[in-house]
Structure 1
């Protein structure tokens, strides 16, 4: 049994704390910290009511390495589960190195002043973590995270070559608002309004935002329009999968959501460049974030399901093969269990499972790693056990032949 420190008390942090509390045989002591301690206290109260367990809470500024170091030295956890903002990944990694503590996150580093997310900054920590005898597990959410493990599972059990990989992310939930985002609005809008990219024949091909669209009939959700985006798991998968020829990422969006984004972009509300307003400097996208509903508040009003998975086309024993592995998650069932909607749940549960893999020694090796670099089997088994059951089927679906 291990002591863990969770940093971040948003929707995902709530799920991670609940799920860790459900597994007392793995997580002996749980601390939850964020800039606003009252949010941690609220989650701790919920957990005591549901499970009878008591978790400890603390305030910490995740941008401040000395403050992080002081808290880590006080608590002395086995590892940090970082579900704070991606801007804070590097400061938390620095604090882990200084205190000799293992590290896990769910999203790769993104500079505050540049709409760019990639692993290069964190991969640069490889030697330092290895020399310190510490492990950092990157991207242990759903996508990235489970989708990486799905690919590793396909590579281990079904395919000799994975030629074509399509990652499909569908949120069929309805929260009743004209516009709201299911995770941090600033991160979500920056991600969606950026140029897309896909990987083909060893090169990255850039696309305009929402340039490519396909309609897909998602199991238990129905037909949805999905759009080609760039997503971070492709960066590591393009390196770690054997000989993949093409890899794409697709995400569903409704027409109303896209119309709001178009208006925000047209009037500059998605900008990260500071402007002067009434004698003070503001960042438009941060102002927009303040106007939008808190994603952590969407749980009680969100109905419907998510469906996230991977379609792989390749060969086995010289014969063509196509398989589809995916998970379906119900928003209201997630809320009943953890007081959070399914987008937070599908990120928080894999973060807990990734930590479980490290605490139990299934995945433990000094250095900085992505999810697909480890044996997928114990993680896949844990998904079935802890709330994210998956289906793995042969399929004749051809994404290229889907209607636009």
Structure 2
């Protein structure tokens, strides 16, 4: 059916590649491109026996001209961007120049400021419309599946949704005293930034990790959850009818929080360059270099994740609650694709989103967040491709 250029060769990219190769009717040919071409070659070697034709390329995704040249050479039907969020705009520019559809899993953020917002990418709406191509933003799990869940809830169960609580729990244990489950730079920037929640038309800011609750998650039990800012709140606030309040919660253990506070107190989480022995280094980038590579956590991680959304609203004038979630097992994911559940829960939706575009189920000119498309074929695909969901109609609410 189509050709996909996959930019990136980290943990999430590895899952996307595995999943595309499991789905050769849709992904007849893929090209894996990254600055470290040896990682691309290693992935190709692992998967070369399948029906999907695989090629690799060396690519500096910061360089739009290089991306354009590769697109012109490979001629993909879609570009799946699972590189770094700093590179979203250069890749979008290349897709515009070549009139090729685009999909990513994380919003653009500038290198020098920890920002989690869509304004830079939304600014491309008109250009993509004029070019007649589709850009799908944030098609991982959160953002991503959480937006699909929201569109599904709205379509099938509610006339109006008043409140959304997004809950992201990782009960996995990798045995290290401190490590991050995805890119340490992005992960630590996200957690050390101010929290915020949406209420009555505005975002209310909180101190980092200021608001804490305990929630009893299906299949993994009681966990400490902390209120964070997360970019999908920004698009859901615009796209979900009747919304009054949105909060995003993530679990962290006490051990994790203690390590993080110490690192923050000694300046290791700063993104301000410092002079060290005649050269400038960014402390957070140095910390990333000394922490375990998230891709190495797969074989060590045991336990489960639970990510989902609780909705409160009305249907036919009556109050209604609805909880939809996925539980994913780290060890099962590793057995299947050689990655832990954090990469798996991001990579599978990226493949499904690209499939939706190639199958023309999510194909319209412009720049879109996932909740702006029909959720039904995506929800069906989640069950088929490894992220089955469950639902409850009388969940415990977060107070």
TM-score (structure 1 length as normaliser): 0.98
Query: Which residue number corresponds to residue 12 of structure 1?
Result: 12
Query: Which residue number corresponds to residue 289 of structure 2?
Result: 290
Determine the C-alpha separation between the residues in 2 that align with 1:109 and 1:328.
28
Query: Which residue number corresponds to residue 92 of structure 1?
Result: 91
Please list, as runs of the form range in 1=range in 2, the aligned pairs for 1:3-402 lying within 5 A after superposition: 3-48=3-48, 51=50, 53-400=52-399
- Partners of 2:28 and 2:52 within 8 A in 1: no
- Partners of 2:88 and 2:107 within 8 A in 1: yes
- Partners of 1:47 and 1:54 within 8 A in 2: no
SS of the residue corresponding to residue 48 of structure 2 reads helix
Unpaired runs of 5+ in structure 2? none
Determine the C-alpha separation between the residues in 2 that align with 1:149 and 1:159.
14
CA deviation after TM superposition for structure 1 residue 48, in Å:
2.5
Determine the C-alpha separation between the residues in 2 that align with 1:344 and 1:187.
14
CA deviation after TM superposition for structure 1 residue 318, in Å:
0.8
Root-mean-square deviation (CA, aligned residues, Å) is 0.8
SS of the residue corresponding to residue 179 of structure 2 reads coil
- Partners of 2:191 and 2:208 within 8 A in 1: yes
SS of the residue corresponding to residue 319 of structure 2 reads strand
- Partners of 1:314 and 1:322 within 8 A in 2: yes
Determine the C-alpha separation between the residues in 2 that align with 1:399 and 1:53.
45
SS of the residue corresponding to residue 300 of structure 1 reads helix
Determine the C-alpha separation between the residues in 2 that align with 1:336 and 1:382.
21
SS of the residue corresponding to residue 308 of structure 2 reads strand
- Partners of 2:174 and 2:297 within 8 A in 1: yes
Q: Give aligned pairs, total.
A: 399
TM-score (structure 2 length as normaliser): 0.99
Determine the C-alpha separation between the residues in 2 that align with 1:369 and 1:146.
14
- CA-to-partner distance for each residue in 1:109-140, whole Å, 9 max, x for gaps? 00001111210000000011110011100000
CA deviation after TM superposition for structure 1 residue 396, in Å:
4.0
Alpha carbons of 1:65 and 1:23: their partners in 2 closer, same or farther (altered >3 Å)?
same
Determine the C-alpha separation between the residues in 1 that align with 2:220 and 2:55.
39
Unpaired runs of 5+ in structure 1? none
SS of the residue corresponding to residue 40 of structure 2 reads helix
- CA-to-partner distance for each residue in 1:138-196, whole Å, 9 max, x for gaps? 00000000000001000000011101110000011001111111110000000000000
CA deviation after TM superposition for structure 1 residue 63, in Å:
0.1
- Partners of 2:303 and 2:329 within 8 A in 1: yes
- CA-to-partner distance for each residue in 1:244-297, whole Å, 9 max, x for gaps? 111100000001110111011101111111000011110000000000011111
Determine the C-alpha separation between the residues in 2 that align with 1:396 and 1:64.
48
Determine the C-alpha separation between the residues in 1 that align with 2:323 and 2:231.
20
Determine the C-alpha separation between the residues in 2 that align with 1:85 and 1:60.
13
Q: After TM superposition, which residue ranges in structure 1, 4 or more long, deviate above 2 angstroms?
A: 51-54
SS of the residue corresponding to residue 24 of structure 2 reads coil
- Partners of 1:180 and 1:292 within 8 A in 2: yes
- Partners of 2:37 and 2:56 within 8 A in 1: yes
- Partners of 2:169 and 2:251 within 8 A in 1: yes
CA deviation after TM superposition for structure 1 residue 54, in Å:
4.4
- Partners of 1:109 and 1:119 within 8 A in 2: yes
- CA-to-partner distance for each residue in 1:20-58, whole Å, 9 max, x for gaps? 011011011011010000001111112235x46541111
- Partners of 1:111 and 1:117 within 8 A in 2: no
